[in-house]
Amino acid sequence: MFKIGLAGFIHETNTFSQTPTPLENFLNQSGFYPELRKGKDIFKFKEGRFNIAASGFMSVADELGFEVVPLVWCGTEPSGSLPLSVFDTIMEMIEESLKENKPFDGLFLDLHGAMVYGDLMDGETEILRRVRKIVGDIPIVCSLDLHGNISKECFELATVMIGYRTYPHVDGFENGQRCAFALKHLLDGKPSFKTFKQAPFLMPATTQTTSREPAKSLYEMIPGVEQAEEVISATVMEGFNAVDLPHTGPSVFTYAIDQQSADQAADVLLQAILEREPQFSVDLFPPEEAVQKAMQIAEKANRPVLLADIQDNAGGGSTSDTVWVLQELVKNHAQKAALGLLWDPEAAEIAHQAGEGAVVEMAVGGKSLPGHTPFSASFSVEKLFDGDFLGTGPMVKDRKMNLGKMAQLKVDDVRVVVSTDRMQALDQSFFRVVGIEPAEMKILALKSANHYRADFGPIASEIINVDAPGAIIEDPSKISYQHLREGVRLKGLGPVYKRP
Ligand SMILES: [Zn+2]
C-alpha cells in the first residue's frame, strides 16, 4: 500500500474585484463548495460521484493500492484576493496535518490554479512551496481547474499537474481519477519528464467554452495526444483573465516517459491554440440591443432565448447584483422573462418579512458595484424559499445546495430570483425552488459566463452575450493590467501588452 496525503484548497481570485473573501466563506458552505472538511470528514466525498477531483481521486484509490490520509479540504466561490491572514490560517491547518501524518509516499492536492492572496501573491506557488518543504522529494500530483494561471515555478514544484478538460466544468470527478493514475505511474518508479509552454495571447471567457469552437476541437485533441504510449498526461489551461499577474493566461503542460515525447505533445497542443487565434475574439451586445434582439427571437421561438450577463458572473468574482439587464427587460416590457441569480440578501429578507402574495416597493440590486444604483419598482412576492435543495443539472447533480433566503419577485411579466448567498446561475434548480420552470420562459437572463451552458444550453433556442458592466471585463484589451508580462496579446490577434 502507498500512503497518500490528500488536501484541497480552492479559490479562483479576481484581483480586480472588491468582493471580500473572509475565512467564513471557506469554513461554511458557499456556492458551489461545501464547508471546510478535515480528516475523516473528507471521506464524505466518497459517498457519491461528486463533480470534485477529491471525489474521483478516492474512487480509484483502493484499486491502485493507495491508503488515503485525508488532511484538509476547502474551497469557496470566486471573489477578491484572499487576505494574508485567511491564506495563512488555512495553510497552517494543512501544514499542521502534513507534519502530524508524515511521512507519505505521495501527495494529492485538489487546487484551482488562479488563487491570489495578500498583495498580488500567487496562491498555488506558495501552497506548493510550503507543502514541498514539509514532505520533501515525493511525488505531488495536483488537480487544477482549466482557469488556472500557472507560473513556471509552480509548475516546477509540482511533480505532475492535470487540468479539467471541460468548461462548463463537468469532469472534476474524472480529473481526480486522472491524477490518481498519474500518481500510480510515479509511485511505480516509472520515468516522468515534463514540458511547460505559455500561449502568446489571452482568451476571452466567452470563447473558452468547450461545448463549441474554438475550444471544442482543441480539447478534443487531448485524448489523441495521450494515446501515444510515451505520454502520461497532457493539459491545456485557458487561464483566468481577471488576475493582474505576469503569468496570467493560457498554458500547456505535458508529461511523458522521455523529454522528446513531452516536448512533442506540448508543441502539438500549442500549435493547435495558435491556429485558432483569430477565433478567440469578443462579440457582445449592449443591454438594450441584447434585450430587444432576444424579444424579437422569442416571438417566434418555442424555447427560451438566453441572455448571458457574462460580466456579472459570481463564478468569476463579480457581485452578481447589477441591474442593467433587469432595467432593459422591464423598460421594453419583455414577456415571460426571468432573471437570476440576483445577489441581494436585503431584498430577500424584505420579501420573506412581507410574505408570499405581498406587493412591496423595493430597490433591488445595484448595491455593490461602485457608481451603480439599485432598480426600484413595485414587486409582487411570488414565492419564497429558504433551506437545502438538490442540484439537478450536470454540474451539481445531487449536490446539496443552500443559497440562504431566496425569493421570486415579479414586476410586470419579469421575474427576478434573489438570493442571500452569491452564486452564478448554473443550474435550473435555482429557478425551480422559487416556482419558475425555466423551459416555460420566453427569455432567461442568466448571470454566468459559460457554466450555465451545461444545464440551460439544451433548453435554449439562442444565446446572446450581453455587454453590461460588472467586476469582470470580458475583453482583456480593456482591462487595466499593471503586472502582466510584456508582449502578450490581449485577445486573439489583439493589441500587444506593454507595462504602464
Ligand atoms: Zn473554472
pLDDT band at 346 (very low <50, low <70, confident <90, very high): very high
The DSSP secondary-structure symbol of 209 reads -
Distance 412 CA to ligand 1 centre (A): 35
What are residue 383's phi and psi, to 5 degrees?
-155, 140
Distance 153 CA to ligand 1 centre (A): 21
Cα(62)–Cα(59) distance, integer angstroms: 8
pLDDT tops 90 at residue 283: no
pLDDT, tens only, 115-150: 999 999 999 999 999 999 999 999 999 999 999 999
Q: Residue 405 carries which side chain, given as an amino acid letter?
A: K
Residues in the chain, how many?
A: 500
Distance 215 CA to ligand 1 centre (A): 14
pLDDT tops 90 at residue 409: yes
Distance 146 CA to ligand 1 centre (A): 6
Distance 176 CA to ligand 1 centre (A): 15
Provide the Cα torsion 241, 244, 247, 251; round to 10°.
Answer: -10
DSSP assignments along 133-146, one per residue = HHH-SS-EEEEE-T
Please give the average per-residue pLDDT across 420-445, as a whole number. Answer: 97
Distance 262 CA to ligand 1 centre (A): 25
Single pTM value for the model: 0.90
Adjacent-strand bridge partners of 306: 444, 463
Q: What is the pLDDT of residue 32?
A: 80
Distance 164 CA to ligand 1 centre (A): 8
What are residue 224's phi and psi, to 5 degrees?
-65, -45
pLDDT band at 38 (very low <50, low <70, confident <90, very high): very high
Adjacent-strand bridge partners of 74: 9
Cell numbers that stand for 74 in this block: 476547502
pLDDT band at 13 (very low <50, low <70, confident <90, very high): very high
pLDDT tops 90 at residue 437: yes
Cell numbers that stand for 474 in this block: 470580458
Q: Which fold has domain 2-279?
A: Rossmann fold (3.40.50)
Please give the average per-residue pLDDT across 325-330, as a whole number. Answer: 98
Distance 395 CA to ligand 1 centre (A): 12
Q: How many CA atoms lie within 13 A of 61 on its CB side?
A: 26
Ordered strands of the 375-385 beta sheet: 359-364, 375-385, 406-411, 414-419, 337-343, 443-446, 305-308, 462-465
Q: Where in the chain is the domain with CATH 3.40.50.2300?
A: 2-279
pLDDT tops 80 at residue 88: yes
The DSSP secondary-structure symbol of 326 reads H
pLDDT tops 90 at residue 29: no
Q: What is the pLDDT of residue 30?
A: 78
138-147, 290-299, 465-474: least confidently modelled range: 465-474
pLDDT tops 80 at residue 31: no
pLDDT, tens only, 188-217: 999 999 999 999 999 999 999 999 999 999
29-43, 117-131, 172-186, 353-367: least confidently modelled range: 29-43
What are residue 372's phi and psi, to 5 degrees?
-90, 155
pLDDT band at 111 (very low <50, low <70, confident <90, very high): very high
Q: What is the pLDDT of residue 52?
A: 96
Distance 122 CA to ligand 1 centre (A): 17
What are residue 232's phi and psi, to 5 degrees?
-90, -45
Distance 475 CA to ligand 1 centre (A): 17
Distance 426 CA to ligand 1 centre (A): 12
pLDDT tops 90 at residue 471: no
Q: Report CA torsion sign: 298, 304, 309, 312.
A: positive
Distance 12 CA to ligand 1 centre (A): 8
Q: By C-alpha distance, which of 367, 361, 402 is closest to 381?
A: 361
pLDDT tops 80 at residue 459: yes
Distance 397 CA to ligand 1 centre (A): 17
pLDDT tops 80 at residue 446: yes
Distance 353 CA to ligand 1 centre (A): 36
Q: What is the mean pLDDT of the chain?
A: 97
Q: What is the pLDDT of residue 105?
A: 98
Q: What is the pLDDT of residue 227?
A: 97
Please give the average per-residue pLDDT across 151-172, as a whole number. Answer: 97
Q: What is the pLDDT of residue 362?
A: 97
pLDDT band at 429 (very low <50, low <70, confident <90, very high): very high
